[in-house]
Every structure is written in C-alpha cells, then in structure tokens.
C-alpha cells in the first residue's frame, strides 16, 4: 500500500513521460502550437496527479473520507451487493479538479474485492452506484465490523486503480488506489454509525471524518 507524501501519484510517471517526449519533439521541429498544447497538458497532468500530505483526524472508530470531493448521497439503504444488509451509504463525487488518490477510510483487513463491469454515466448521479464500472473493497475492521468502500468510474474516467489484495492489512488514511479523470466513491457503514457530514459538503481524503462507527475504541 502506497504511503502518503508531497509528491505525484506513481500512476503519473507514464503519462508525464509520454507528454514530455511529445513536448520536446514539438519544440525541436518548431511545431509551436503543438508545443503549447502539450505544455498545457503537461501542466494539467502534474496538477491532476498531485498527492498532498494528509493528516488523519479522530480515533480508530472515526471513518475518514476515502476521496476528495463533494457529498452527493447520505442515506440509509438496504445493500444487496456488498454488505448485503441495511447500512448507511455515503457517496462522494470527485470532479476533474479534485485530488484523485484514494485513501483507506478505516483500519482493518481486506475480506473481499469485487470488481463489476458497467457503464460510464455521470458519477454525481445516484444511479452511477448501480450502473457504472466499479471496484469494491470489503474491509473487516479491528472492531469486527464490515465497511465497504467502492471506487466508481464516471463519465470521463476509464481506469480504476486498486493496490491491496484479499487479506492485506489496511491503515486508515493510507493510499489504496485512485480513479483517473473524474469519478465517485461510495462508503457503506453500519446503520448505527454517527454521521458528521452533510449533503454538498466538501471533504478531503484521509482527513475529513465522515462518521463514527458504533461501539468503543480498542486501546
């Protein structure tokens, strides 16, 4: 699992290398319009793949946001896909301009990983949770509860990256993957969880506390 830091996400290396080569080639042959376009794309790529330091807040029962973005869903549902029970679902929409690295909402171990093919409708719509391509981590916390975090491709996104494997130990706030170019993350929690965010609120991955799991901290 990748650690956090003031650097670029490792997925940026290939993209930046290709764009840089085309930029240099355009300059060498004096294709100034092309050079300007590649320079702009290089600057945007550096901005898109940024990976700032984050400082997890709260205790072990506090669920951190797995993504930068805006809260677009917060409701009690009956989940038939991942936790297969009544649960609290919190949806976070990531725009093209948000940091796109994803961070673990809780500490625990990966009990299952479920990938589903699907469509690429706009990720700010609730139906994206049902229809779009997605990858879910089902995590068993140190308190014995199950939490699911689901990476969902959006209208522009075409690649979901997830590092952990089944059985891997996760630490809250650490990077576990990313989704390229606009997307959504859903978090499924026990229904008794205390929620600390509201609709439309901006959140930061690995820093903003979304909710608190029921029970008491394990020292």
Catalytic (active-site) positions: 183
Distance CA 172, CA 218 (A): 15
Give, for 12, the enclosing helix (H) or strand (E): helix 12-28
Give, for 8, the enclosing helix (H) or strand (E): strand 7-8
**Closest alpha carbon to 111 in 163, 176, 169:** 169
Is 172 in a helix, a strand, or coil?
coil
**Do the beta carbons of residue 203 and residue 70 sit within 8 Å?**
yes
């Amino acid at each position: 699992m990748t650690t956090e830091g003031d650097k670029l996400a490792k997925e940026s290396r290939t993209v930046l290398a290709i764009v840089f080569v085309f930029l240099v080639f355009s300059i060498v042959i004096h294709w100034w319009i092309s050079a300007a376009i590649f320079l702009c794309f290089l600057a945007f790529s550096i901005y898109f793949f940024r990976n700032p330091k984050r400082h997890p807040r709260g205790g072990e029962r506090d669920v951190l946001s797995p993504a930068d973005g805006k809260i677009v869903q917060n409701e009690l549902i009956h989940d038939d896909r991942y936790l297969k029970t009544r649960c609290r679902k919190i949806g976070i929409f990531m725009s093209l301009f948000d940091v796109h690295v994803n961070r673990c909402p809780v500490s625990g171990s990966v009990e299952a990983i479920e990938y589903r093919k699907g469509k690429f409708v706009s990720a700010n719509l609730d139906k994206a949770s049902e229809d779009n391509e997605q990858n879910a981590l089902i995590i068993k916390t140190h308190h014995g509860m199950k939490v699911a975090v689901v990476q969902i491709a959006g209208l522009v996104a075409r690649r979901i990256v997830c590092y952990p494997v089944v059985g891997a130990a996760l630490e809250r706030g650490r990077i576990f993957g990313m989704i390229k170019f606009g997307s959504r993350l859903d978090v499924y929690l026990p229904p008794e969880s205390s929620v600390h965010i509201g609709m439309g609120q901006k959140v930061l991955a690995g820093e903003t506390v979304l909710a608190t799991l029921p029970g008491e901290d394990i020292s």
